[in-house]
Structure 1
Amino acid sequence: MNANDLRPGMVFLQNGELHEVITFQHVKPGKGPAYIKCKLRAVKTGKTFEISLRSSEKVEVIKMSEEPGRYLYRDGDTAYFLNEATMEELHFPLDSIKDKLDLLREGDEIQLKKAGEEIISIELSDFVELKVVQTPPGFKGDTVQATFKPARLETGAVVQVPLFINEGDTIRVSTRTGEYVTRVS
């Protein structure tokens, strides 16, 4: 496949290592040939970096699949998951999935993303429902400035919520943006 056909979320092999495309930009300078600017995440280490590829450069894209899984627990700088298809326990370094872990409770269902036979990351459902454990009270008529306030959720994540949300309320949060969607109860 040509580098021109890469898209965010695809995984390809380069220099013997798997890399996931985070962002993709086609650049056509005034002089010279067009090229592709990609932000990549090294699958094994979780480190991100940028590279430029010629549009016509060939890359080996790895077929992706998903398997059901469950978040078990966090220990130090490692998170542990259960592959429900094989009943095998897996672990990931926290820094490679930190943004996703903020919205996970122990026992939550996830999808394990596989590149070939290797599990490379986790995917959450589009929305999660979490309980608000701490937020300042919203006062009637307190809409002169912003109509949002910070709220700490049961997982430790902090999101901006409307003034009518109180401690003990359950809210729906988008896992893609990490933002408040609606109040559930």
Structure 2
Amino acid sequence: MKKIFFIILIGINFSCFSVEGSENSDSVLDIDSEIESIVTKTPEPSPERNKEINLDVVFKDKVNLYLNLDVPKGFVLKELVVKKYEGDDKIAFFAIQKSSTYTAGDDISKMVAWGHFGPESGNVLFYSDNLEFKNKVPVKLSSGSYSIRFAQNNYKEAKYKLVGKLISASKSGLPDYGEAYSDHGY
């Protein structure tokens, strides 16, 4: 703040001096407009360096486990990457619904992302009309509340850690009004 005040003070003194002692005041206007843009610029949300969301999934006594995921306002969840996967069954199912309560059941038309994943899956933010199809459609989640269902048939001792990568909504090219987007426009 002291630096900006100092610059403004110098600009005022220079402006007064220039108007009285010079007929060319173009440089004064340039300085004043630069100062004005610095002072009035509205900051936009930007993620802290390596801003992440961490999900620790630990199955206890049921085949299905439900978690909430909140993407902060001004951000987009670009990836949800499997970092740790422990358990006897190397394939699990996940589904993400745009809601704070999971109500989609097995109806994929109510899900914004779904599929199977395992220890080597990487990013799981995708969907596919055919769960066996190798070409998954990537999805990005804008700000808002989501619910996730994880299903594991052999759930005893099953644990996963997923890390979500957040990016600024303004840098994502997506509007920020709580929707999911695929790279194909839906």
TM-score (normalizing by structure 2): 0.21
Q: Which has the higher contact order (CA 8 A, sep 6+)?
A: 2
More helix by share: 2
Give the strand-richer structure, 1 or 2: 1
